[in-house]
Structure 1
Amino acid sequence: MTLPHGPMRPAPGGPPPAGPLPDPAAVDPAVLATLLARHGWVRRGGPAARYGRWTPPEGGDPGVSLLVPAGDGFDDTVELLTDAVTALARSATPSARAVLLALALPGDELQWHRDLAAPAGATTPGATPWDDGERLRHAARAMLAAGAKAGRVRAAYFGARLDAWAGDFLDRVLVVDGGPGLTAYTPAPEGRAAVTTLVRALEALRDAVDYRRVSGGGEAFENAVQSGVSRELVESVQELVRGATAGRFTVAWSAAAGTPGGFGDRRIAVEFSPGDLPALGEAAELLERIEPAVAVTVVGLVVRLKRADPAGPGGVRLRVLGGAEVDEIKVRLPDPAYRLAAEAHLSGTPVRLSGRLERRGGFRRLTRPTGLEPCGLEDSERERLLKTLGEGRGE
């Protein structure tokens, strides 16, 4: 992760701050004031039209006081912001670090927490087992990927579909290590579709689980698909909760980008508990079962062939170029079509064929194949595709 301004340096005699230090000249005073208020800091006195003096929340560092200008049109704005950022960097108040991180990494702040029972003999506050940290990160990544996919199209079960789309989104997410739980910053406003969909989907899943536990009916899970709920999202929540006393997801919208439409000023926090796991397990099975196979016509490059009998059917793997939102598919072809696929492989010619993309195996298998035929490409286009595929796969 590239630091926007530089590493924080420890204050003489004070605790060593961690994380990126924002450039005071790039700090928006209104954003800083919003973040201070969000984290419980109190504005005290000062001419409202010129500046505000902020002190830490109750129980914080009593020696810290920040003078924050009301805007960036004053001669001493950068000087005051420099003093404020320096004071935050030296403060022992926990929320000071959170404010600095939000300034340095602009975007929506997402947090995941797993509440754990204290292990016997544990003496270090805030310490968590290594495996638990890995589980938390895996759950968060899966949850973000599910939100990114649902932000583009609704489905009860995605499988391998839209993996590339989700991967592109995850590449733009910044993860902050240290502190309780896991914190990530997603780009705002350009990454908002994934995050807003994720929030609505988790809230719909929370409601559906409550309905299932009260009424015994599972139809709410099916209805929640339109809100972005998928099997992948359910599995990420299971991972977040399993082995913990509770799992919690919260969002603080970017102060610079503002609150997205339809969310108002309400606090975004969704929590699940181990008591929800039976209902979540039923939901995962249901959502995969109701997702239908997809009729597709794909264009792809033959990258692997295998058959036991020289005159019999064989398996073929295609690198998909178009027609389906997966990277690769497997298909079993009869002898004539297999020979045609082998010829296309030797010549580097893409092929086109139709069939049904089955949910079993994560939508990576094409059944009932028909109409296999080579489809020509211009030499320049073929070279571009082959170069792209080689770079992307290390081939």
Structure 2
Amino acid sequence: MHRPTAPDRQPGRPPRHTPPGGPPPETVDPAVLTALLARHGWRRSGAAAGTYSRWTPPDGAAVPARGRPARTSLLVPESRAYPDSTDLIAEALTALQHSAIPSAPDILTALRTPLDEIHWQRDTPDPDAPAAAWAAQEQLRSGARALLLAAALAARGRAGYHGARHRRHAEAALDRLLAGTAAGGRELTTFLPVGTSAAPGPDDGRLITTTLLRALCATRDATDHQRATGGCEAFEPAVEAGVCQELTEAIGKLVRGSGGIRITLHWAPAAGPPDGFAARPAPVEFTPGDLPVLREAGARYIRDEPPVTVRLTAVVLRMRREAQSGPGAVRLKVLAGADVPQIRAVLDEDDYRIAGHAHLVGLPVRMSGRLESKGGFRRLTGARDVMPVRVEDGERDRLLKSLHENLDFFGEACGGD
């Protein structure tokens, strides 16, 4: 039934109220709002198709403070073709803003910007104490973040074991991550913003989401294969789908101490599904019975990941050797040539002396070697060809200032020289 325009609201007039914390009503697509309401279990009723639709909360939704069934009801236009559509959307947003329905904040969050949603359901018993509930929430949140970090690492480059490589960039990509409440440590919703570029980069939320979905499905298939046949060969090609040691470890973290984990992905309604993906991806589940396979796969990925030959530029942070002459160990801050923040290396006597001199005059050094997977690609073996690198005066002054602030670390830098 068509709702007449109220006397104090003329067609085309801006809405009188924008809900605090909600998106501007004029920017909300009614189709996106109704898709989000349906996704979160709201029921459509009592309206003729093509005009308006009325939505009521899911069965069982209650106002926590009173424990009574919620009476929130939203009237949403089917499109913006009707004169009072903006006012009706404003009223719906205001009702959601003041609603105690658990899904209301999630709906408002998804309306502010296109967001892919990941729903995490962890099968755990009801906690018998507040401390247990807090611990369960922490385990769910940290496990979900670890899994998303593994996907962000895989989005930057495929590897069976990433270690410290790309970690700074992957963690920075998750800074835009939004998370909902973890009710009792059993349910959590995370939101990843969808970029607007035609070719998303490795920091785009949509690329992280699609990488995660591919990797989870490949892990599920490889795990089923190994449990059925005893063969581990399915985990080798799974690396190209984004499976890695970090991902198998994160899944194990979520599953341990529970009856299983269920991960469901929903695409942002405003963006739609990406090419090659189902509109409604099937949930992916893991159970405690998968843990031995996941542990074995993770250990194999670490063992089989080859060292990486690099030629890097770095700043000396620390120097240490047992005697006043001979080889010594250095800790380096990597500036270029390797996707790790810091590494350790053992230099022979001549290279150690060159590194010490370069550091004392505020210059970085360049060297070659191999990053070893043991220790997370934080160690350079076979270091050689150490030489100072000339930098601009401003950068050199900054490096010297850093040296003077950390003089206690370099008491042995000139030992024996």
Q: Same fold (TM over 0.5)?
A: yes
The aligned amino acid for 1:78 is T
Question: C-alpha displacement at 1:6, in angstroms?
Answer: 7.0
Aligned to 1:176: 180
Q: Which range is displaced more, 78-87 or 331-340? A: 78-87
* Deviations 1:131-176, CA, capped at 9 Å, x for gaps: 2222222211211111011011100000000011111111111222
TM-score, normalised by the number of residues in structure 2:
0.82
* Cα RMSD, aligned residues only: 2.7
* Mapping for residues 250-289 of structure 1, pairs under 5 Å: 250-289=264-303
* Mapping for residues 225-236 of structure 1, pairs under 5 Å: 225-236=239-250
State whether residues 362 and 397 of structure 2, in contact with CA within 8 Å, keep that contact through their aligned partners in structure 1: no
Q: Which range is displaced more, 248-257 or 202-211? A: 248-257
The aligned amino acid for 1:338 is Y
1:279–1:388 distance in 2 versus 1, CA, 3 Å: farther
1:196 and 1:384 map into 2 onto residues whose CA distance is 41
Question: C-alpha displacement at 1:290, in angstroms?
Answer: 1.3
2:188 is equivalent to residue 187 of structure 1: no
State whether residues 105 and 185 of structure 1, in contact with CA within 8 Å, keep that contact through their aligned partners in structure 2: no
Alignment partner of 1:116 out of 98, 109, 124? 124
Aligned to 2:377: 363
3-state SS of the aligned residue for 1:154?
A: coil
1:387 and 1:215 map into 2 onto residues whose CA distance is 61
1:254–1:128 distance in 2 versus 1, CA, 3 Å: farther
1:132 and 1:386 map into 2 onto residues whose CA distance is 47
Aligned to 1:13: none
2:268 and 2:401 map into 1 onto residues whose CA distance is 39
Question: C-alpha displacement at 1:261, in angstroms?
Answer: 1.6
1:229 and 1:37 map into 2 onto residues whose CA distance is 32
Alignment partner of 1:71 out of 79, 83, 96? 79
The aligned amino acid for 2:192 is T
Aligned to 2:150: 146
Aligned to 1:56: 57
2:107 is equivalent to residue 99 of structure 1: yes
* Mapping for residues 201-216 of structure 1, pairs under 5 Å: 201-216=215-230
Structure 2 runs not aligned, ≥5 long: 1-17, 62-68, 196-203, 410-417
* Deviations 1:198-223, CA, capped at 9 Å, x for gaps: 11001100111111110000111112
State whether residues 353 and 373 of structure 1, in contact with CA within 8 Å, keep that contact through their aligned partners in structure 2: yes
Question: C-alpha displacement at 1:386, in angstroms?
Answer: 8.1
The aligned amino acid for 1:185 is F
Aligned to 1:14: none
3-state SS of the aligned residue for 2:366?
A: strand
State whether residues 56 and 62 of structure 1, in contact with CA within 8 Å, keep that contact through their aligned partners in structure 2: yes
Whichever of the two has the greater Rg, that structure is 2
The aligned amino acid for 1:140 is A
1:281 and 1:93 map into 2 onto residues whose CA distance is 40
**Percent identity, aligned pairs only?**
50
3-state SS of the aligned residue for 2:108?
A: helix
1:227–1:178 distance in 2 versus 1, CA, 3 Å: closer
1:164 and 1:279 map into 2 onto residues whose CA distance is 29
Aligned to 1:156: 160
* Mapping for residues 333-344 of structure 1, pairs under 5 Å: 333-344=347-358
The aligned amino acid for 1:181 is E
Question: C-alpha displacement at 1:264, in angstroms?
Answer: 2.3
The aligned amino acid for 1:357 is L
1:141 and 1:241 map into 2 onto residues whose CA distance is 14
State whether residues 106 and 185 of structure 1, in contact with CA within 8 Å, keep that contact through their aligned partners in structure 2: no
The aligned amino acid for 2:288 is P
2:165 and 2:249 map into 1 onto residues whose CA distance is 16
* Deviations 1:211-258, CA, capped at 9 Å, x for gaps: 111000011111210100000000000100011111122222112222
2:71 and 2:362 map into 1 onto residues whose CA distance is 71
Aligned to 1:372: 386
1:183 and 1:279 map into 2 onto residues whose CA distance is 27
State whether residues 29 and 68 of structure 1, in contact with CA within 8 Å, keep that contact through their aligned partners in structure 2: yes
State whether residues 30 and 78 of structure 2, in contact with CA within 8 Å, keep that contact through their aligned partners in structure 1: yes
Alignment partner of 1:299 out of 313, 325, 328? 313
Question: C-alpha displacement at 1:36, in angstroms?
Answer: 1.4
3-state SS of the aligned residue for 1:326?
A: coil
* Deviations 1:52-81, CA, capped at 9 Å, x for gaps: 223334455574432212233543222101
State whether residues 361 and 400 of structure 2, in contact with CA within 8 Å, keep that contact through their aligned partners in structure 1: no
Question: C-alpha displacement at 1:265, in angstroms?
Answer: 1.6
1:117–1:57 distance in 2 versus 1, CA, 3 Å: closer
1:388 and 1:186 map into 2 onto residues whose CA distance is 37
Aligned residue pairs, count = 371
3-state SS of the aligned residue for 2:326?
A: coil
1:281 and 1:6 map into 2 onto residues whose CA distance is 48
State whether residues 31 and 255 of structure 1, in contact with CA within 8 Å, keep that contact through their aligned partners in structure 2: yes
3-state SS of the aligned residue for 1:349?
A: coil
2:45 is equivalent to residue 44 of structure 1: yes
* Deviations 1:308-328, CA, capped at 9 Å, x for gaps: 111021111111111110011
Aligned to 2:65: none
